[in-house]
Amino acid sequence: MEEASPQDPVAASSGMETEPSSPPPILGAVAGAMGCLQALEALKFLTGIGERAENRIVFLDGETLKFEVVEILRNPRCRVCGG
């Protein structure tokens, strides 16, 4: 499963609190689809149009073509995003 989560570095969680897992192999078409989603999020950020995926991670399962959106919260004790 791939993720697209362009975040406002000031307002978003750093994601440093999440445990890394070993990702499955990436297919070129899936990487291209995720790049398109990231470009769309960047355009929404630059233009101020639309609802951004701020504080959310969007996962795409390339095998089933299903999206999953996970909300992430700032950790007040995090050195990076807790402020």
Please count the structural domains in the chain.
Answer: 1
In a domain, 77, yes or no: no
Residue predicted with more confidence, 56 or 17: 56
pLDDT by residue (tens digit) across 15-53?
Answer: 555 555 666 666 788 888 889 999 999 999 999 999 888
In a domain, 47, yes or no: yes
Amino acid, single-letter form, for residue 23: P
The domain containing residue 43 runs over which residues?
A: 2-16+25-71
pLDDT at res. 36: 93
In a domain, 46, yes or no: yes
Is pTM beyond 0.75 here? no
In a domain, 32, yes or no: yes
pLDDT at res. 68: 93
In a domain, 76, yes or no: no
Question: Stretch 4-20: mean pLDDT, rounded?
Answer: 57
In a domain, 80, yes or no: no
